[in-house]
Chain A
Amino acid sequence: MQDFEYMMARSLDETVSLLAQEPDGVQLLSGGTDLLVQLREGRRIARLVVDIKSIPELNELTCDPVAGLRLGAAVPCRRICQHPVVTAMYPGLIDAFALIGGVQIQGRASVGGNLCNASPAADAIPALIVHHATCCVLGVAGQREIPVEQFCVAPGQTALRRGELLVSLHIPPPGSGFGAHYLRFIPRNEMDIAVTGAAASVMLDPAGGAILSARVALGAVAPTPLFVAKAGDYLKDKAATKEAIAESARIARAAARPITDMRGTAAQRRHLAGVLTRRALEKAIERARV
């Protein structure tokens, strides 16, 4: 393992000023399930590892039907998945958060970390996209908000500017008629990175049951998690029919720009993008109806 110094940050100000002084070679540690592996393999270089998981703002977890969900960047998945209100209000998010590694990873890995790691295959990100999540980031210049679909800019790269850090995520309240679902394809049933992932959300007209709005996002079929606006827009003001869902899935499939690597082939991923989008939409609609 490469050599580095370690410090525990107590406050946001402390961290921000530290990052402002010398952002290079500083790595922020929360759950460490990605960072420590990457440091060990030399895929990231650290001179100083700053442990931010004790900063109060990063551990915020508040959820109510009016304000929605505010999620500190360092909150581990397991804590979220065990939160009765969150699990009841956002089953579509829990679908994804519950898949970020096995139990041993769940206890440490944070949703914020999953986002900042900016893997094209990250499970949390498509789900956050279809839930209209926004990222609250802080730097010396102050605070700003970034829609989650704009947060990842390239494999391993985020929209964070030098010296900025992700503080929290905000997910608006679902509201009645909302339903969402995330699912992924992996060769085994655990211990794998998504070959392809798909998230979908719909807002149904409580009266007629027509689709008022919908969102579709894909994982592992592009350099970043992919928000396929067209696939959702197509469903606007349409009845939730087999045909409409199939067409939306076809649009998502067409939007996929996958590569072949050791985890899957381009053809397989493109195909799965369509299949998983359809399945995600069907489940989202089912959830929206109850």
Chain B
Amino acid sequence: MPVVWIPALLRDLTGGTDQVTVPGATVRQVIEQIEKRFPGMQERLCDGDRLRPSIVVVVDGAVSRQRMRQVLADTSEVHFLPTIGGG
């Protein structure tokens, strides 16, 4: 099952837990699963059914362009990070 790293500022919702292993074939499914376990998480990460514009999702080391629709492998590692620009 994918491993999701909980952003530091969301660990207030997980009682300090910084990683969770949840089932899910896409980022969206994973977020729904975390929401079940830690209510409020979805609202913090998402704006409606989309990831907040200020957040990027990094899957297995690469910033995902599919965002919520990003397909996950069973071994995937998921990070939610602030948006980063380049010059």
Direct contact of A and B (CB under 8 A): no
